[in-house]
Structure 1
Amino acid sequence: MILHRRRRMVAALLLSVILLTTACNAKTPGRFDQVQKESTQQKKGQSIAKTATQGSEFNKLFPDAGDGYQRVYTQEKKGFAEAKLKKGGKDMALLSISDTTSTPSAAAKFSKSTKKIGGYPAIEVGKTQTAILVGKYQVKALSRDPSFTAGDRADWLEKFNLNRLANLK
């Protein structure tokens, strides 16, 4: 009986020593640790304005699905809402509304716009993105499939409830 107790005590002591020595060793940095540190630091200072509109308010303003399209909401947070536009199981486009209160530079890029969609200033970003500015809200359509053209993006932007969006407080 005494021998059995001593064995248990020695085993517990050895286990404690092993745990203590491995826990105190300095961790060697992994190959992603520096990138993680940098990306975490970049987010400092970024914040959503307290006056930004809740994303749930935007969901009511997205266009209804139809003509074989399916609308699938993918993200909603303060100041932003996003939905995928699918057809035949394929992602055709991303539709979004964002409150530019937190990012004034997003609204500033519309100041030199000469194009209008639905009566609001519009810009093309690259070959896959169209955006309009409705008051303080940016409404975007981003092609995810090559067959979803700039014309399609403009049509879908006009389907948003833009008048109601313009009157959101």
Structure 2
Amino acid sequence: MSLFRGRRLLAGLLLSILLLTTACAAKAPSRFDEVQQESTKQKSGQAVAKKATQGSELNGFFPDSEDGYERVYTQEKKGFAEANLKKGGKVVAQLAISDTSSTPTVALKYANSTKKIDGYPAVELGKTQTSILVGKYQVKVISKDPLFNASDRTDWIEKFDLDDLAKLK
């Protein structure tokens, strides 16, 4: 019996030592850790500019629900706010406002724009996106349903409170 007990004690001791040494060993960084570090690096050390507007403040400039359309906020964070536009329970478009302070190159695409919506420079991105630049803010409507066309996107951009958004600093 004592031989069996000794083996059991030895096995338990070895298992404890094994667990202790592996748990305390330094873990080599994975390829994902390296990618995460690279993706979050910027010259300023942060992804969103300090002066970017809070997303909750941008919510007040979105159009209200109307004519069978329902506006449902889906995301808000510093420098960005987004809502889904639903009709009959189905998402037909996404509405978004983003502060370009964090991404100043975004504003450059409007420099040569010949199209205007409510007096603000506009661009079409593919067949599903329409956006305008209002001061330092990009207002974008993205079709999620093929029946929601460029004309519908323009109409919904015009429903945003663009003049008050332009006054926001």
Q: TM-score, normalised by structure 2?
A: 0.84
Q: 1:27 to 1:54 in 2, by over 3 A?
A: closer
- In structure 2, runs of 5+ residues without a counterpart are none
SS in structure 2 at match of 1:60: helix
Corresponding residue number in structure 1 for 2:141: 141
- Count of matched residue positions in the alignment of Structure 1 and Structure 2: 165
SS in structure 1 at match of 2:61: coil
Q: 1:89 to 1:27 in 2, by over 3 A?
A: same
Identity of aligned residues (%): 65
The alpha-carbon deviation at position 37 of structure 1 amounts to: 3.0
Q: 1:72 to 1:27 in 2, by over 3 A?
A: same
Corresponding residue number in structure 2 for 1:34: 31
CA distance in 2, matches of 1:36, 1:87: 41
The alpha-carbon deviation at position 39 of structure 1 amounts to: 4.6
Post-superposition CA distance 1:133-164 (Å, at most 9, x none)? 11111000011111110111000000000111
Corresponding residue number in structure 2 for 1:111: 111
Corresponding residue number in structure 1 for 2:63: 63
1:164 aligns with 2:161: no
The alpha-carbon deviation at position 10 of structure 1 amounts to: 4.0
Corresponding residue number in structure 1 for 2:18: 18
Corresponding residue number in structure 1 for 2:41: 44
Post-superposition CA distance 1:16-45 (Å, at most 9, x none)? 03314554789799xxx5356325412211
The alpha-carbon deviation at position 91 of structure 1 amounts to: 1.4
Corresponding residue number in structure 2 for 1:102: 102
Q: 1:127 to 1:35 in 2, by over 3 A?
A: farther
CA distance in 2, matches of 1:68, 1:53: 30
Q: What RMSD in Å do the two structures reach over aligned CA positions? A: 2.8
Which is worse superposed, 71-80 or 17-26?
A: 17-26
**Structure 2 counterpart of 1:13, one-letter code:** L
Q: TM-score, normalised by structure 1?
A: 0.84
**Structure 1 counterpart of 2:73, one-letter code:** Y
Q: 1:50 to 1:90 in 2, by over 3 A?
A: same
CA distance in 2, matches of 1:109, 1:85: 26
**Structure 2 counterpart of 1:55, one-letter code:** G
